[in-house]
Amino acid sequence: MIRVGLTGGIGAGKSTVAKTFIERGAYHVDADRIAREVVEPGTPGLAQLAEAFGPEIIGADGALDRPALAARAFVDDDSRTMLNSITHPLIGARTKELTDAAPADAIILHDVPLLVEGNMAPFYHLVAVVHTDADVRLDRLVNLRGMDADDARSRIAAQATDEQRRAVADLWLDNSGTPDQLAAQAVAAWDDRLIPLRDNIAAGTPAPLPTGVREYDPEWAVVGSRVVGRIWALLGANASAVTHVGPTAVVGESAEPVIDIEATVADLAVADSVADALTAGGFPRALPSDGERLHISADVGRPVRVHLRPTAR
């Protein structure tokens, strides 16, 4: 089982990618749908909102009046915090429930508009970002969805920047062309990255590492930072430090294009105890070696070695 986070700015075209993945068998978990579900009429979530923000947020039909809620919940930081304290645990619990129900061989597609803003990227095997320039998204929102132009600009401005999304993107899907072209990129990502990653993790098999020295690539630092976050998410308190090391961490250096990550643990017993978690998280264990434990990425598109090294060597 692998978890793929799908995100992109409002109007970017995520639905085309989601549809393409779902047609190929992805197990879809839609964050927006869950957010609506947990506050449907008769739910504890709606009752909690009414208690916190007043019965006026419930319409005559018994459903949540979203504009009325927004008028009360977004007036200041305390109100927003109250809203999030009610909805986030409910959304999280329902998301876990759906994820736990997925088949063992599933590719779980978690469709999350605010994935970047919520700092959720490290908790996915891969993050797919659908990109469209802001002016194109504005045109779509206004002319295709009928949204007020000022409202559309405000929503775009309130979301993550393209640079912030690119920093977390393992898959960058460019939607500057036609829907068919975007769907073709999604098919290629499914066939060339997602299926091999799922199958390698299931088999506990690392992906082959590239060989040969290449000129320095600034993307190495970006990927290194992204993988450091992923390893922290997998190891948590079992590691005292996680760092991008080796030749690819040196600016300007030519190197073998493999990201080396050093995770410092108390001893080799701790390193052995986290082997299954790293394997399930996308980094199967390689052959044991003296003085450290080595894990290698199962993702054919992201060559990484993770060195688990004890504090005292």
Q: Which domains does the chain have, with CATH numbers?
A: 2-201 (3.40.50.300), 219-310 (3.30.460.10)
Binding residues: 11-16
Strand partners, 8: 130
Q: What is the mean pLDDT of each run of 10 residues along the chain (313 residues)?
A: 92 90 96 93 94 94 90 84 92 93 96 90 97 81 79 79 94 93 97 98 97 95 97 97 97 96 96 96 89 96 97 74
Phi, psi (5° rounding) for residue 170? -80, -30
Rounded CA gap, 25 and 8, in Å?
21
List the alpha helices (DSSP H) in 125-255: 134-143, 149-158, 162-168, 179-189, 195-203, 219-235
Is residue 200 within 8 Å of 206, Cβ to Cβ?
Answer: yes
Rounded CA gap, 97 and 275, in Å?
26
Which residue carries 């993550």 as its tokens? 160
Binding residues for ATP: 11-16
Structure tokens at 23: 């047609």
pTM, 2 dp: 0.89
3-state secondary structure 239-257: CCEEEEECHHHCCCCCECC
- The confidence score (pLDDT) of residue 153 equals 81
